[in-house]
Amino acid sequence: MTVYLVGAGPGDPGLCTRRGAALLREADVVVYDRLVDRSLLALAKPGAELIDVGKRPAGTAGASVPTGADRQAEINRLLVELGSSGRTVVRLKGGDPFLFGRGGEEVEALRAAGVSWSVVPGVTSAFAAPAMAGIPVTHRGWSTSVTVVTGHVGDPTAPGGVDWASLARAGGTLVVLMGMATRRDIAEELVAAGRPADTPVAVVEWGTTPWQRTVRTTLAQLATVDLGSPAVIVVGPVAALELPPALGALAGVTVVVTRPRDQSASLRRALAAAGARVLELPTIEPGPPEDGGSALAAAAARARDYDWIAFTSANAVHRFAAHLRDGRDLGRARLAVIGPASADALAQHGLVADLVPTRASAEGLVEALGTAPDGGRVLFPRAAGAREVLAEGLRGGGWVVDEVVAYRTLEGACPPAPLADEVARAEVVVFASPSAVRGFLASRDDRGQPLRVPPVVACIGEVTAAAARRAGMTSPVVAASPTPESLVAAIAHRLGEPSAGCPPAERGSGDPAS
C-alpha cells in the first residue's frame, strides 16, 4: 500500500489541506510528529492506529521511538514496515513535509524498499506564522525576495552549512526556522557581514495557534528575545510591518464541541470565526434500536395503513427510509416533518415532505396536523426513551398514534489519548442536548478515566442547562437564543467576567467538576 506524506500545516488544524484531511479519515495508521495539532488526529477513523514519533526527552512515557541520532533511521524503518503491511499509512508532518521536515529522507527510504509513496504538500510555518503576525514576507517596495533557512547548523563551512555572510549580502527577507538556540550567533554573523544592527526582526512563537506570541526587535537585540521553540525568526524591513487581523472575542480559547460531527458545522464556524480553537468530541451518536430495527421494519411494511407518518429528526427519517423500497411502499400515507432538517433528510431518499409547519417544533406540528378525521392514524418513528410531546399532542387531537423506536442515541466517547489530553486543557465545553451532557460524563479516556469537565460549560438552551446542573456542573452559560452566534456571545461574556476561565499558566490544572 501507499505511504502518504501529509503536511499537517503550521498548527491551526484548519490549515491542513482538504486532501490531507481526506487521507487522515481513510488511514489505517497515522504516524505523527510532536508539533502536529492533536485535533487533526481525531479525524482518523475509530480503530486507526496512532503512532507518536515525536521527539521527547528520553524515557518519557509514550515515546514509541528512541530519541537521539538514530531516531530518523528508526522512523524510516517503521514507515517501510507499515507501508509493506498492506495498510493505508499517513505520515503526518508539521507544516510542509518537504521543508526542513526530513520528508525527502523518508521518501528515499520508502523508494529503496520498493514501497509506493505520495506527498500532500502543506502550509509551511515559514510563511504562515509571519502572516498571522501581520507580516507579509514579500511586500511591494519593501522586499522582493524571501529566503528560508535553517538555524540548526554547526560549522557553517561544513557541507550543508549555512553561508550567513552571503545571505546577509543577498538582502531581502530571511526566515529562519529552528533558529532559537542559535539566535545570538545568527545575529552576529549577519551584522558582521554588513546587515545593519537596527534591521527589523520579528520572532513568532507557536504561529497560527491560539498561543501565538510575537516579539518585534532588531538584529542587535535578537539574542535577548524571551521566547522559545517552535518559533520562526523574520529578518528584514517587512518584520516591522503589522497587518494583523482583528482578534475575535474567543481568541486563544479552546472549546470542546460535543455534537455529532454532521450537526456541528455552523457552531464550529461561528466559534472559529470568533478565534476559538475547536476540538470536536462527539459524545453522542445515533445507533440501531435494541431490537436491531425489527419493529421499525414491521411498521414500515404497514406504512400504507396510515394517514400520516411523522418525523421529528433526520435520524428517524434515515432509519425509516432504509426499510422502504421506494415511495410506492407508502401508498396514500403522507409525510409530516418537524422542520427543514427532517425535510432535507426525506429529500435525500427521493421523498417529499407533505407538511412542514411554519413553527419548527412539536407543538407547531401538532397544530398543523389539526384534528383527526374519523379513525385518523399516525405512525411516529422516533428515538428510544425520548419524551415525546408530539405523540401526546396528536392523541389530544383525536389521532391514533403508533410509536415505533427508529434509533437509539448511544452516549459516551472514547477519544484517542492525544485528544483526551487536549480536552483536559480546554476552557469551554458546549452541549446541545441533555444526551450530550450524559455522553460527556460517560466518556472515558484510553486509561478508562472520566474526562475532566472544562471550567466553562455552555448550553444551547434551558433544557440542556438543567441537565448540566443535575450532573453537578455549576452555573452553565446559556445562549439567549438557540443560535451559534448567540452562544458565542454568551461564552465571550462569561470569559470576560472576573475569575472566569483560568490563566494560561494554569491551563489544565482545574479539578474534575463531575
Rounded CA-CA distance 298/55 in Å is 57
Q: Are 19 and 8 in contact (CB under 8 A)?
A: no
Q: Is residue 37 part of the contact set for ligand SAH (CB under 6 A)?
A: no
Q: Is residue 309 part of the contact set for ligand SAH (CB under 6 A)?
A: no
- The alpha carbon of 333 is separated from its chain's Cα centroid by a whole number of angstroms, namely 42
Orientation angle between helical segments 362-369 and 389-396, nearest 10 degrees: 20
Residue 148 φ then ψ, to 5°: -100, 130
Q: Is residue 368 part of the contact set for ligand SAH (CB under 6 A)?
A: no
Q: Is residue 35 part of the contact set for ligand SAH (CB under 6 A)?
A: yes
Rounded CA-CA distance 108/144 in Å is 34
Nearest-approach distance from CB 161 to ligand SAH, in angstroms? 17
Rounded CA-CA distance 320/316 in Å is 6
Whose Cβ is closer to ligand SAH: residue 75's or residue 129's? Answer: 129
Residue that is written with C-alpha cell 460524563 in the block: 441
* Cβ neighbours, 10 Å, residue 76: 20
Options 1, 153, 178, 341; binder of ligand SAH; rule CB under 6 A? 178
Q: Is residue 95 part of the contact set for ligand SAH (CB under 6 A)?
A: yes
Q: Which residues are catalytic, by number?
A: 33, 55, 178
Q: Is residue 254 part of the contact set for ligand SAH (CB under 6 A)?
A: no
Options 11, 282, 289, 416; binder of ligand SAH; rule CB under 6 A? 11
Closest CA to 94 of 162, 25, 29, 177: 177
DSSP state of 409: E
Whose Cβ is closer to ligand SAH: residue 3's or residue 337's? Answer: 3
Nearest-approach distance from CB 202 to ligand SAH, in angstroms? 11
Q: Is residue 101 part of the contact set for ligand SAH (CB under 6 A)?
A: yes
Q: Is residue 207 part of the contact set for ligand SAH (CB under 6 A)?
A: yes
Options 129, 372, 419, 478; binder of ligand SAH; rule CB under 6 A? 129
Nearest-approach distance from CB 206 to ligand SAH, in angstroms? 5
Options 94, 236, 260, 357; binder of ligand SAH; rule CB under 6 A? 94
Nearest-approach distance from CB 167 to ligand SAH, in angstroms? 16
Closest CA to 249 of 488, 6, 508: 488
Total residues interacting with ligand SAH, rule: CB under 6 A: 24
DSSP state of 224: G
Options 13, 54, 200, 230; binder of ligand SAH; rule CB under 6 A? 230
Whose Cβ is closer to ligand SAH: residue 30's or residue 366's? Answer: 30
- The alpha carbon of 384 is separated from its chain's Cα centroid by a whole number of angstroms, namely 29
Q: Is residue 90 part of the contact set for ligand SAH (CB under 6 A)?
A: no
Beta strand pairing status for 146-150 and 213-218?
unpaired
Rounded CA-CA distance 271/14 in Å is 13
Q: Is residue 130 part of the contact set for ligand SAH (CB under 6 A)?
A: no
| Choices 185-193, 199-207, 350-358, 406-414; region in contact with ligand SAH by CB under 6 A | 199-207
DSSP string, 146-189: EEEEE---S-TTSTT---HHHHHHH-SEEEEES-STTHHHHHHH
Beta strand pairing status for 231-235 and 213-218?
unpaired
Whose Cβ is closer to ligand SAH: residue 57's or residue 114's? Answer: 57
Whose Cβ is closer to ligand SAH: residue 130's or residue 455's? Answer: 130
DSSP string, 89-126: EEEEESB-TTSSSSHHHHHHHHHHTT--EEEE----HH
Whose Cβ is closer to ligand SAH: residue 183's or residue 494's? Answer: 183
Q: Are 456 and 495 in contact (CB under 8 A)?
A: yes
Q: Is residue 338 part of the contact set for ligand SAH (CB under 6 A)?
A: no
Closest CA to 314 of 288, 285, 345: 345
| Choices 227-235, 250-258, 261-269, 287-295; region in contact with ligand SAH by CB under 6 A | 227-235
Rounded CA-CA distance 369/308 in Å is 9
Options 125, 254, 435, 443; binder of ligand SAH; rule CB under 6 A? 125
In sequence order, the 6+-apart residues with CB closer than 8 A to the CB of 367 are 357, 359
* Cβ neighbours, 10 Å, residue 440: 28
Whose Cβ is closer to ligand SAH: residue 125's or residue 264's? Answer: 125
Nearest-approach distance from CB 382 to ligand SAH, in angstroms? 47
Options 3, 5, 6, 10; binder of ligand SAH; rule CB under 6 A? 10
Nearest-approach distance from CB 456 to ligand SAH, in angstroms? 26
| Choices 133-141, 200-208, 355-363, 373-381; region in contact with ligand SAH by CB under 6 A | 200-208
Nearest-approach distance from CB 268 to ligand SAH, in angstroms? 21
Rounded CA-CA distance 397/391 in Å is 10
Q: Is residue 135 part of the contact set for ligand SAH (CB under 6 A)?
A: no
Q: Is residue 208 part of the contact set for ligand SAH (CB under 6 A)?
A: yes
For ligand SAH, the nearest residue by Cβ is: 95
Whose Cβ is closer to ligand SAH: residue 82's or residue 92's? Answer: 92
Q: Is residue 85 part of the contact set for ligand SAH (CB under 6 A)?
A: no
List residues near ligand SAH by CB under 6 A.
Answer: 10-11, 35, 94-96, 99-101, 124-126, 129, 177-178, 204, 206-209, 229-232
